[in-house]
Amino acid sequence: MDDIEIGELCDSDDSERLDSAHESDSNGQNWPECNLDNDMSNPKLHIGMFFKSKDSLKEAPNQYGRLNSYFIKFSKNDLKRLKALCNEKCSWFIWASRLNPNDPTDQTWKIRSSNPNHSCSKV
């Protein structure tokens, strides 16, 4: 099995970019959207990655955990924020939030911060 790398861009050639005004940050940097059909065989989670929905966001760390023998859980999971953790003693995490929490029609989520390094052993 290939190692899954966190902190790099999705390796899918056909990862789509969001077609909205929110596809770039203040520096004009474009961030790819995770394409579940292609990226789940080797999910890569990094700051700035977009997800079309909360369900697709939750699937990425779950799949990462399944493929790498880590038990990923969600310590925060509300309408505006999501935090995924490996375990209480491990330093690995991702924090994500809704891109536009005041717009009920925009269900886009973005990874805001992360620590891709595990300080634990695998399950």
- Per-residue pLDDT tens over the stretch 33-57: 555 555 566 778 889 999 999 999 9
**Are the CB atoms for 12 and 38 separated by under 8 Å?**
yes
Residue with tokens 């079309």: 52
Q: Rounded to an integer, what distance in angstroms lies between the CA atom of residue 121 and that of residue 98?
A: 31
Residue with tokens 């779950």: 62
Q: Is 90 exceeded by the pLDDT of residue 118?
A: yes
Q: What is the mean pLDDT of the chain?
A: 77
Q: How many residues does the chain have?
A: 123
